[in-house]
Amino acid sequence: MCGICGFVTKHTSRLDLRHLRRMNDIMAHRGPDDAGDFVDQNVFLAMRRLSIIDLAQGHQPMLTPDKTLCVVFNGEIYNYQELRQELQQKGYHFLTDSDTETLLHGYHAWGIDGLLSRLNGMFGFCIYDAAQKQLFLARDRAGEKPIYYYRNSDYFIFASELKVLAHTHSVPCTIENDALAGYLLHQYTPGSQTLLAGTYKLPPASYLRLNTENLDYEIISYWDIPHSTSLASASLEEHKAKLYDLLSDSVKIRLRADVPVGAFLSGGLDSSINVALIATLGITDLNTFSIGFEHQDFDESPYSQQVAQHFGTKHHHFLLNPRELISLLPRVIAMVDEPVADAASIPTYWLCQESRKFVKVALTGEGADELFAGYDYYRHLPYSLPPSPAISWKQKIKQFLGLSNLPLDLQGMPDPISGFPLMTPFHTIAQLLVSECSPEYLLASYHRQMTKNFSIFPDHLLAKAQYYDTKTWLPDDLLMKVDKMSMANSLEVRAPFLDHRLIEYSFTLPDELKIQGDTVKFLLRESFAELLPASILNREKHGFNLPMHIWLKGDLKELVMDTLNSDTLKQEGVLNSKVVASILDQFMNHNASCERLVYSLYVFQQWWHALKMP
């Protein structure tokens, strides 16, 4: 686990080794254990390492003996031991016990496509092939590890964090207005674009191939979620056994480490299953971690304590109070790297900070809700009729963007595909922005997954919604938040539910194995019923619920009002100061239920200030 960065230059570029090392230092929190860099004429690569596997010999950048291949790698290859055996049988000799070396030999043996098809892991890596004058950037299937990049006529530059590009002073630090509209719509930045003009995210399950001579590049998708009916006739017992075996093996290989491994434990179904499976492997000294709040309505500590006692873990419960919240919030927003208005970033940061005092790796339950239909807004989908094909969202978006005279709509609208209930209405977005946004961009961000495999679910609304959320909300919000908050505290977080074998399997399931009546995640509950206490098994989903309405009107009010003051907004000319003031007034003084929109505006403005700081 680490952060990676680098650039490829032409002769006219003024970037040099000093710039590379400055970029690398910005990511020191991602890898405090080690650092290294590599230069080959016009190719500059660097990394910061958080040592997890082969602590002594896993230094990067790592090169083949003939120095024609070089890799810098962020993440973990969980099946590296199996790949190592396969490569040794082909005659490859290993000098280390690290998973990084499997990338070098695997690329040499199988090429980039053959290597990626074999990897089980979370990763963002760069392989430089000097002989072929090519550089590859690759990202894992689910999108757990990010890679950002920028290209102009003189250089191509990339990094694990957006702020690294912004702070090199080689990338224009200007807002992309269309992307800001997408952020206001979703409360995260959807798709490959970022809020910095000309800067992009490599999509999940994709790799970028760069010609290091002329800087031409292409992006290739190497995987998508397949839709299979091969298990349609399997019985419930067969499905339970299949799911148990897959998840058990996923947990097992994610425990591979040369440092202490723990687990987040909220007391919900997903994290409890992780802990139960760890216990079945005979691990008796597991550290588990949970977080709570002073407001008891939002505190799940009794459930996490119950699971911890059931499995005999060493449990640590941390309490986040408003005083700590105020001191944490500016750092949380700065470290989230690109704005994600998911208030759960705050407890996630605190949880990672405190857990890091005991372990270097922690397992989490991320992904289970998308794969096994855990969200409440999925409940009606197995029983709904397909939407009318006459609906034209392009027409609707164009119409609403032109209605600037409508009263502000502060209630979240539901996504027509997944049912996600908190999206900002289009005409409110149009009024918030000083500059106009493109209806075509909003349409693309809104329905950008209606391609390829999306069309194979024409009458399966639940599968369509799950696919949509797995491709959008999951990588662009949830996994972005987990990566940035964990790495800000030099903690590696692993998600067993995001094993690609589980993702593929989950999309073979019929609706009735996902939702039965009011019971969501039906198969998941059935498969692990014998391991968990009944009170945990039958719990309603709570997630990371926070008292944001109370905090924003109380302890955080002064901070929010100062950040969103009209004079600053007028001077910057990005957000409409009058519209923002009206939203704040409606929320603070007239009890409008729009805390998520208020928090979104605060997060953007605070992030923009932090990003511009030298």
Q: What positions carry a catalytic annotation? A: 2
Tell me if 48 sits within 8 A of 3, measured CB to CB: yes
Contacts of 125 (CB under 8 A, 6+ apart): 4, 71, 72, 73, 74, 75, 103, 137, 138
Contacts of 112 (CB under 8 A, 6+ apart): 127, 136, 138, 207, 209
Give dist(CA 51, CA 58) in Å, integer: 8
Give dist(CA 526, CA 595) in Å, integer: 37
Q: What angle do CA 569, 570, 576 make, to 5 degrees?
A: 70
Contacts of 547 (CB under 8 A, 6+ apart): 293, 295, 297, 298
Instruction: Give exposure, 412-424, as e/b (b: 16+ Cβ within 10 Å).
Output: beebebbbbebbb
Give dist(CA 389, CA 446) in Å, integer: 17
Give dist(CA 504, CA 369) in Å, integer: 15
3-class DSSP state of 9: strand
Distance of CA 164 to the CA centre of its chain: 18
Question: Helix H segments across 564-594?
Answer: 566-572, 577-590
Q: Which of 231, 230, 226, 256 is nearest to 241 (CA)?
A: 231
| Tokens matching residue 164 | 């690294």
On the CB side of 277, CA atoms within 13 Å amount to 27
Give dist(CA 158, CA 266) in Å, integer: 35
CB atoms within 10 A of CB 323: 9
